[in-house]
């Protein structure tokens, strides 16, 4: 039987250079999609999948993320004095249980692989989920919950993938796959394949279930593309020893680390909100 996925890692130490100047003093993970920080949407996804412990790999200037997942006594007292009980309850609902969060620092932004490696002591010797907080997955079933269902059937390692146009495959990590008893076994992983050489149009979307052996590989991983320690390089090594599966996410994905993805996320999630959608739709129809 597969070991239970109890912990999730959220790497939030990146510099967010694609979203400057917004990210000069504000972490990109704290930018809001409608009225929730991006990181809160992603933590909600992990909670919906039954994750019990939330591990944040932070860096300089990211302390506000820790504050966001903490109690704010002055605010709570003021809300209570003003009778704003609905708001108070909503804040309490979002708060992880005491002792269920860990924060560790990536002292220099050496790449995603290095950020994941920084969580090794907190994760220990168990499989874990990894969620890239700037990739918002929005569908009927939360992405990680679907992955955990699949993981419980076949174990191993898993990455979520989505279809991208053939002309764009050179911008993504791409998986080649084959059917294996109804599951999609990964036959190949390539980071940003040259145009015309891609094994498929299934791009890695930023959700992973990984076995703890990834940490030993990351420990000695050489720097790859962009001079950074790349997670994909370490996964390619792990795939030579362990099963790796792809999980096709059936929903919309917004890359909130990019201005256009962030704007689209706000628009689409805003349109779906019962309290905002009708008014927003009207305002769009009246645009001059
Ligand atoms: P990105 O490459 O999208 O984030 O990494 P970035 O480096 O912040 O973005 P740009 O390219 O400069 O705009 C995906 C995730 O991995 C984290 C980021 O915070 C982001 O959530 N990350 C990346 C780290 O935690 N450490 C790193 O060294 C790199």
- The strand pairing partners of 98, in sequence order, are none
Q: β-pairing, 183-191 with 36-37?
A: unpaired
Among the atoms of ligand 1, which is closest to the Cα of residue 255?
3
The answer to whether 241 and 213 have CB atoms below 8 angstroms apart is yes
Pocket lining: 133 vs ligand 1, CB cutoff 6 Å: yes
Residues in the chain: 288
- Residue 31 in contact with residue 19, Cβ under 8 Å? yes
Burial code (b: 16+ CB inside 10 Å, e: under 16) for 104-135 equals bebeebbbbbbbbbbbbebbeeebbbbbbbbb
What are the pLDDT digits (tens) for 262-272? 999 999 999 99
Task: Write the CA distances from 139 to 136, 249, 268, integer angstroms.
Answer: 10, 8, 12
Please tell me if the CB atom of residue 156 comes closer than 6 angstroms to any atom of ligand 1.
no
* CA 108 to mean position of chain CA atoms: 20
Give the mutation target among 65, 112, 116, 255 for probing the ligand 1 site: most ligand atoms within 8 A of CB.
112
Q: Which residue puts its alpha carbon closest to atom 14 of ligand 1?
A: 132
Confidence of residue 216 (pLDDT cuts 50, 70, 90): very high
Task: Tell me, in angstroms, the distance from the centre of ligand 1 to residue 13's CA.
Answer: 6
The hierarchical CATH code for the domain 7-285 is 3.90.550.10
Q: What is the pLDDT of residues 48-68, one digit of tens each?
A: 999 999 999 999 989 999 999
Q: Which two tokens stand for residue 111?
A: 């790449």
Residue with tokens 């992983």: 189
Minimal-distance CA residue to ligand 1 atom 18: 14
Q: What is the spatial distance between Cα 161 and Cα 203, in angstroms, rounded to a whole number?
A: 5
Residue 85 structure tokens: 């009980």
- With the most atoms of ligand 1 within 8 angstroms of its CB, the residue from 14, 42, 113, 172 to mutate is 14
pLDDT value at residue 266: 98
Residue of 151, 162, 93 whose CA lies nearest to 126:
151
Q: What is the pLDDT of residue 221?
A: 79
Indicate the range of 107-116, 198-207, 218-227, 257-266 predicted with least confidence: 218-227
| 224-261: pLDDT as tens digits | 777 888 899 999 999 999 999 999 999 999 999 999 99
Ligand 1 pocket, residue 15 CB under 6 Å: yes
* Ramachandran sector of residue 165 (left: φ over 0; alpha: ψ -120 to 50; beta: rest): beta
State if residue 16 touches ligand 1 by the CB under 6 angstroms criterion.
Answer: yes
Q: Give the span between the Cα atoms of 44 and 131, in whole angstroms.
A: 11
Is the CB of residue 65 below 6 angstroms from any atom belonging to ligand 1? Answer: no
Q: Which residue has the CA at smallest separation from atom 7 of ligand 1? A: 14
**pLDDT over 90 (residue 186):** yes
Mean pLDDT value of segment 101-116: 95
**For the chain, which residues make up each domain, given as ranges?**
7-285
* pLDDT at residue 126, rounded to an integer: 97
Which atom in ligand 1 lies closest to the alpha carbon of residue 58? 25
**How many whole angstroms from 228 Cα to the centroid of ligand 1?**
11
């Amino acid at each position: 039987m597969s070991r239970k996925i109890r912990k999730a890692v959220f790497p939030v130490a990146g510099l967010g250079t694609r979203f400057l100047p917004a990210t000069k003093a504000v972490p990109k993970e704290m930018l809001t999609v409608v009225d929730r920080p991006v990181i809160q949407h992603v933590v909600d996804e992990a909670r919906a999948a039954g994750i019990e412990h939330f591990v944040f790999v932070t860096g300089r200037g990211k302390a506000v993320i820790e504050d966001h997942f903490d109690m704010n006594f002055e605010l709570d007292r003021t809300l209570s004095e003003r009778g704003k009980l609905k708001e108070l309850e909503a804040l309490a609902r979002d708060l992880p249980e005491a002792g269920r969060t860990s924060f560790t620092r990536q002292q220099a932004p050496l790449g995603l692989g290095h950020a994941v490696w920084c969580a090794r002591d907190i994760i220990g010797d168990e499989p874990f989920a990894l969620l890239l907080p700037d990739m918002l997955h929005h569908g009927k079933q939360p992405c990680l919950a679907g992955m955990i269902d699949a993981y419980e059937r076949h174990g191993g390692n898993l990455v979520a993938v989505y279809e991208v146009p053939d002309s764009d495959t050179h911008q993504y990590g791409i998986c080649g796959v084959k059917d294996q008893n109804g599951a999609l076994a990964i036959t190949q992983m390539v980071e940003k394949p040259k145009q015309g050489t891609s094994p498929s149009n299934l791009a890695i979307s930023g959700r992973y279930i990984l076995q703890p052996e990834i940490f030993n590989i990351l420990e000695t991983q050489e720097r790859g593309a962009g001079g950074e320690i790349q997670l994909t390089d370490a996964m390619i090594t792990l795939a030579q020893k362990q099963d790796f599966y792809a999980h096709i996410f059936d929903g919309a994905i917004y890359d909130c680390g990019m201005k256009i993805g962030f704007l689209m996320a706000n628009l689409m999630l805003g349109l779906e909100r019962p309290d905002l959608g009708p008014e927003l739709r009207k305002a769009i129809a009246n645009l001059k």
